[in-house]
Structure 1
Amino acid sequence: MARLDDTSGYLIAPQPGVQRLTRAVSGTDQTGAAIDLTVVEERPLTIYLNAREIVTAMTIGDYPEYLALGFLRNQGMLSDADTVTSVDYDDDLEVVVVRTAVETDHEAKLQKKTRTSGCAVGTVFGDMMDGLADVQLPATPVRTSDLYALAATISRTPSLYLEAGAIHGTVLCQGNRPLVYMEDVGRHNAVDKIAGWMLSEGISADDKVLYTTGRLTSEMVIKTALMGIPTLASRSGFTAWGVEIAQQVGLTLIGRMKGQRFVCLAGESRLIRDADPATVADEPRKSGRKGATA
């Protein structure tokens, strides 16, 4: 099992020690006693595509270039046919400008701008199902031994969540190895950072697993599918539409993953059950919720 301070296997690991990502604040607890806390910073980031302002997102401020690239790609505003010529970040203005070789046709997307129910008010453009008809995810098998190993490593990785809370994490994994661990105030931002890193580095998605601390909603499933990643896993639960879309696009969807337990609601045929759950350390079950299993 990974040590609590071991991030050597990551290509990009969380940065709980970076001061600009958190702030110390003082308050009082339930008894009136003074208490000092570390809380996560929020700051605006405005994303431009060529000369057009697209959106201002609230973010913790790390990896702004990856966030901008991933956001534009996941919203369908950058396609495989578009050549990105530069990604420029101005720290003083808190602006990222993504430039392409040829102007993109994104005005129609802007006209259909909508908000989602995601944390930190995620933003999508137009019909969320755009592009899914052409998605063909590889039928990549996933070993339960790898899933257990990933969950154990990720839960023990030093992170902003462990230090300050109020944040979501998303991890790109391969086999039993977590590769890139991104955090942000909104789970959508964390996913977009991973998408931007993959686009920038030319990383194949066919053999990857995306692990998230957030809920498995329709938008999380859609983003994962559009990124070409065949497996999505989480400690949290599902929405019905998220499950339905995962079944339609052939995504392996695993949630409520805590200790020995998990639930697979799509892609069961691609699971290789090569680990005995009895050999995995369990977590206490929560009580007080009718029919609760995780």
Structure 2
Amino acid sequence: MRGLFLVLTTMVAGCSVAPATDDGGIEHVTITGLEDVRFSSAHIRQGVWSPGEFEREARGGIFFVDPPVAGRTVVLFIHGINGSPRDFRFLIEHLDRSRFQACVFFYASGSSLAQIGRELAEDIGELHRRHDIESLVLVGHSIGGLIARDLVLHRSSHPDVDIPLLITMSAPWGGVPSAGVGIRFSPVVIDSWRDIASGSGYLSSLFVDADGSTRDLPVSTRHYLLFSYRKSWSSFGLSGDAVTSVASQLFRTAQQQAYRVYGFDVSHSEILRNGGVVNVLDEALRSLSSQNTKAAL
């Protein structure tokens, strides 16, 4: 049982937070600012264990990494449970920020994933209204990938903003079995555990409609599916990345609908600090630029 809660603690270790602003939850921060006290361990724990309080204090939202510049393609990074903006430091530092606008989404990772998705859609609508943004790229790590796919599937929730690229890393498409055990035995259960438990209704909704039909990604969205497979010294059982099994990351329907699939011999968190991932991100963004050039012609 101790091993179970160690896994769950790893899954829920790093939610980031941000203060309320007068700009609809949209604020400018810098890379150095990612170490700000707003992303303290106390706020991280609050987002996991007291999401209602987190929301009442308006800590979440979409935040620019650099002041917005018209004409740049927006790349929105979505962390996982117990994740934070700092998780994306390496990828953002290697992003060509003369052409791409890096933003991050903060949320209470103890909340239900459907609720988080609704909040993200609202913030994207605000992004469109305030900055006239009509297209953005989604980059999601772990459950951030699940939230990103959910958003793409609900096109009506962001009718004015296109999502041509979906890039996910180490996403547990098939669920996390230990979350289900935690729901049964933990004295305190957070809503997001229910959503990532294997066989949950939320996970099913990402791939199957209520009538049992397969849910396809829009043809206008290219999905780059990245998975990790390096075990830790204490790993046992199914192949995985010390947090999520490879089988879950390579859920069949997710693979079938992906435009590209890439595997990395790194752990669940190391994938965020890998040069090969930087290359894939660059490749995907260059392909988007190429598409835009052809469309203009």
Of structures 1 and 2, the larger Rg is shown by 1
TM over 0.5: no
> Which is strand-richer, 1 or 2?
1
Normalised by the size of structure 1, how large is the TM-score?
Answer: 0.29
> Which is helix-richer, 1 or 2?
2
Normalised by the size of structure 2, how large is the TM-score?
Answer: 0.29
